[in-house]
Structure 1
Amino acid sequence: MQVSDERATSFGAQADTYEAARPDYPFEAVAWMLAALPHDSRRIADVGAGTGKLTRVLIAASDAEVVAVDPDAAMLAKLHTTVPGVATFPGTAESLPFSDAELDAAVMGQAWHWADPATASAEMGRVIRPGGTLGLIWNTRDNRVEWVRRLTEIMHASAAEEMLDAGGPTVAEPFAAPESHRWEWVRPMTRAQLHSMADSRSHLITASEQARASIHADMDGLFDELGVHGDETIGLPYVTAAFRVQRPGGR
């Protein structure tokens, strides 16, 4: 993995917070990733599925069977309650529980930055049929907005934000460079929801109690300055960045 194993596998401890605090994926972004799939596609895997944030949208955007893969049993347990009936498997992008060319597509939401790109690309290439799709997607706060940039400085930039700011995901053989598209949108959030969003991030999950308290105090200082109190909301601008690439070959 590119980042510490401790951070990459920390989310299960905050599975309920993650599900409640993290934003959903725009339907149009997920549909765009799957646009090249034929209508008779049979199976799509949500790899690094977590609590099922992306799984739900994949089901809505495709007629294929959607299955979920994650290394964290606590996250998959939460997924069973949020997306009942979806088959789940333990695994990672580097080690998938599928036969060669079994999948029409494999998609990862908020997860590729935890993987080793060369090993994961080779494994994805093994399980995705020729002509099938690898899709990668992230929701990130729009740090071009001044108060959002200040919030990110307080919480610390995530591994995903650092990767996207550096030029985007690296994808290796057998895949070529992916094409990409962006969507901008706004999510109204209260002070409490913003704190929960921070608590769902690996940096805070693995931080000391003292460090977490300091971050939350600085967040409250910012929210006081912005006049966000009680049930009042502020529009948190997001950017959804999606990437897609087809496995060479075809039917």
Structure 2
Amino acid sequence: MRQDEQSVLASSFGTAAAAYAEHRPDYAQAAVRWALDGAPGVRVLDLGAGTGKLTATLLGLGAEVVAVEPDSAMLAELRHALPGVRALSGSAESIPLPDASVDAVLAGNAMHWFDMDVAGPEIARVLAPAGVLAGLWNVMDDGVDWVAGLAQVSGSAAIGPRDTPVSWRAETAEMHLPKSGAAARFGSPEQAEFAHGQIRTADSLVATLATRAGMLVMPEQQQQATLGRIRDFLAGRPETTHGEFTLPMLTCVLRVRRL
């Protein structure tokens, strides 16, 4: 993907910040616990925190959290939802925290937007010795038949790279490692997956998929056509046509340690 395309996609979420806050899922607690396992303390930076989905899970596990988010609309939603959290404007490439000030850096559905050539050394700077860096992604379990069908109907704009387990493993295998000598600041990456789910209706699942970056930048006519195909598919499946259902998901984690 070209840098200009990446930038457009990465900056699209603020246009749907309220919908993102309402419809995006939280993260499996077991996955967050694994991400933090071995961290030298409880000071955690939620980097690229969005509207605070991961921040809320971290708080529920007793972490001391500071959230950093570059998009002002997303940051406003986070501050509204979690007024007691220290929430700062900043980015992975320019973190507004002192050296060695956190024991873990976590990123929920955000690390693929980071420029790791710049962000890698910056994350290493704010991490305490032996600190943990982990990215978490909620992906759809396409091992379930109807979810696999949904992925086919939706197209890559709605369910794309990193959105199913196999593609996530391939796309994130070395995502933590900067392309410069700063890679030496981190150990070898580890991957793990944890069962998760989200209670949805057909309408709320359509609304969730509409908050994906590829959908947000899509021309209106094309977007409505895509969402229409998704609605038709969900209406035709016995698992999703009546009332609430559980969307089968995994919270997938990629973890490295600061050397």
**TM-score, normalization: structure 2?**
0.87
Q: Which AA in structure 2 matches 1:185?
A: H
| Residue in structure 2 matching 1:28, options 30, 53, 63 | 30
Shift in Å, 1:117: 2.5
Task: Write the mapping of 1:87-166 to structure 2, written as runs, cut at 5 A.
Answer: 87-153=86-152, 154-156=154-156, 157-161=159-163, 164-166=168-170
Q: 1:220 aligns with which of 212, 231, 234?
A: 231
Aligned: 1:245 with 2:244:
no
Name whichever of 115-124 and 239-248 sits farther off.
115-124
Taking the aligned partners of 1:20 and 1:181, their CA distance within structure 2 comes to 27
TM-score calculated relative to the size of structure 1: 0.90
1:195 aligns with 2:206: yes
Query: Structure 1 residue 182 and structure 2 residue 181: aligned?
Result: no
Q: Tell me if structure 2 keeps the 8 A contact 1:69–1:88.
A: yes
Which residues of structure 1 form unaligned runs of 5+?
none
How far apart in 2 are the matches of 1:124 and 1:242? 17
Aligned length: 244
- 1:6-35 per-position Cα deviation (integer Å, ceiling 9, x unaligned): 111111111111111111111111111112
Q: After TM superposition, give the deviation of residue 142 of structure 1 in Å.
A: 1.1
Q: Deviation string for 1:174-213 (max 9, x for gaps)?
A: 1122222111233331111111111111111111110111
Secondary structure, aligned partner of 2:236: helix
- Map of 1:14 onto structure 2: 16
In the alignment, structure 2 segments of 5+ residues that lack a partner are 178-182
Match of 1:171 in 2: 176
* Deviation at residue 171 of structure 1 after TM alignment: 1.7
Question: Per the alignment, do residues 91 and 160 of structure 1 end up closer, same or farther by CA in structure 2, a change over 3 Å counting?
Answer: farther
- The one-letter code of the counterpart of 2:236 is E
Pair 1:37–1:62, CA change in 2 (3 A)? farther
The question of whether the paired residues in 1 share the 8 Å contact of 2:97 and 2:126 is answered with yes
Alignment RMSD, CA only?
2.0
In structure 1, distance between residues paired with 2:105 and 2:131? 8
